[in-house]
Chain A
Amino acid sequence: MGKNTGGEAETVEQFLDSTLESVDSAENVVLSVAEKAGFSEEDLHKIGMAVRESMVNAVVHGNQYSAHKKVRVSVSTAGNRLTVTIADQGKGFELTDLRDPLAEENLLRNSGRGIFLIRAFMDEVDVRRLSPHGTEVTLIKYLGRK
């Protein structure tokens, strides 16, 4: 396993179908890049989980499994930073509409924890609406940050 500690940049971009198989594909692509960059096993687990949750949101809630819509996945490294962007072509959503999964009244809900877990596992998370439609999630993890 090679380590990318000298700022050597690498970018991979893929356009994936709106299927659950694409969730595995995206996780594998991102983890391959992250492993080469030198992230620890624990960080790889967190990155993989955040990517899976983001992909599920894009495939299930964003593109709603549409055969006509793609999910764009981009992963890049620069210096000690790993950046992943996952963009769908769905209707989009407002972060303010999401329930707090830690609130007493929401603890026993079956869903609504995805974005919360993504934020818990990554160092920086940005969600923005795309024009004319779609949502882009940007996930950032820094090598060596606790």
Chain B
Amino acid sequence: MSVKLSTRQVGDVSVVDVSGRITLGEGSSALRDTLRDMVTKGQKKILLNLGEVSYIDSSGIGELVSGFTTVANQGGQLKLLSLTKRVKDLLQITKLYTVFDVHDDEAGAIRSFA
């Protein structure tokens, strides 16, 4: 299964629910396009829900990092929600776990943007 992304608004936070595989090709470009679109629209509080992401490769990690820096450069914040064990392990191996603000529950993640 390739990646699926859907966005919803919770207060002033844009939540992106991601499911499937974020890998080189359709998966990573879909994530990139979605994040760029949100930044272009001026959305500065973005929460990526990765709870249903089964697989992510180095290209997918690159897109997460790219999204993080793009949003930060516009004065916004991109945070991560509900990492699966494999994605969490991958971020720890690559030392990115401490770079991202990672949350386990959505309500707490939404509050943290305030």
Using CB atoms and an 8 Å cutoff, list the residues of chain A in contact with chain B: 20, 23, 45, 49, 52-53, 56, 60, 101-102, 107-111, 113-114, 116-117, 120
**B62 & A113 in contact (Cβ 8 Å cutoff):** yes
**B66 & A110 in contact (Cβ 8 Å cutoff):** yes
Chain A residues positioned under 8 Å from B69 (CB to CB): 108
Interface SS of chain B: helix, strand, loop or mixed? Answer: helix
Contacts A101-B94, A102-B94, A109-B65 hold; do A45 and B86 have CB atoms under 8 A apart? Answer: yes
Select from chain A the residue with minimum beta-carbon distance to B56: A49
Chain B residues positioned under 8 Å from A60 (CB to CB): 24
Contacts A20-B24, A23-B24, A56-B24 hold; do A107 and B96 have CB atoms under 8 A apart? Answer: yes
Using CB atoms and an 8 Å cutoff, list the residues of chain B in contact with chain A: 23-25, 55, 57-59, 61-63, 65-66, 68-69, 86, 90, 93-96, 99
Closest 8 CB pairs of A and B: A110-B62, A113-B58, A114-B58, A110-B66, A20-B25, A102-B95, A111-B62, A120-B93
**A110 & B65 in contact (Cβ 8 Å cutoff):** yes
A-B contact count (CB 8 A): 46
Tell me the bound Cα distance from A101 to B95 in angstroms: 9
Chain B residues positioned under 8 Å from A107 (CB to CB): 95-96, 99
**B68 & A117 in contact (Cβ 8 Å cutoff):** no
Tell me the bound Cα distance from A107 to B93 in angstroms: 12
**A52 & B62 in contact (Cβ 8 Å cutoff):** no
Chain A residues positioned under 8 Å from B61 (CB to CB): 113
How far, in Å, is A46 (CB) from chain B's closest CB? 10
How far, in Å, is B45 (CB) from chain A's closest CB? 20
Chain B residues positioned under 8 Å from A20 (CB to CB): 24-25
**B57 & A52 in contact (Cβ 8 Å cutoff):** yes
| A–B pairs, 20, beta carbons within 8 Å | A49-B55, A52-B23, A52-B57, A53-B58, A56-B24, A56-B57, A56-B59, A60-B24, A102-B95, A107-B96, A107-B99, A108-B65, A108-B68, A108-B99, A110-B63, A110-B66, A117-B57, A117-B93, A117-B94, A120-B93
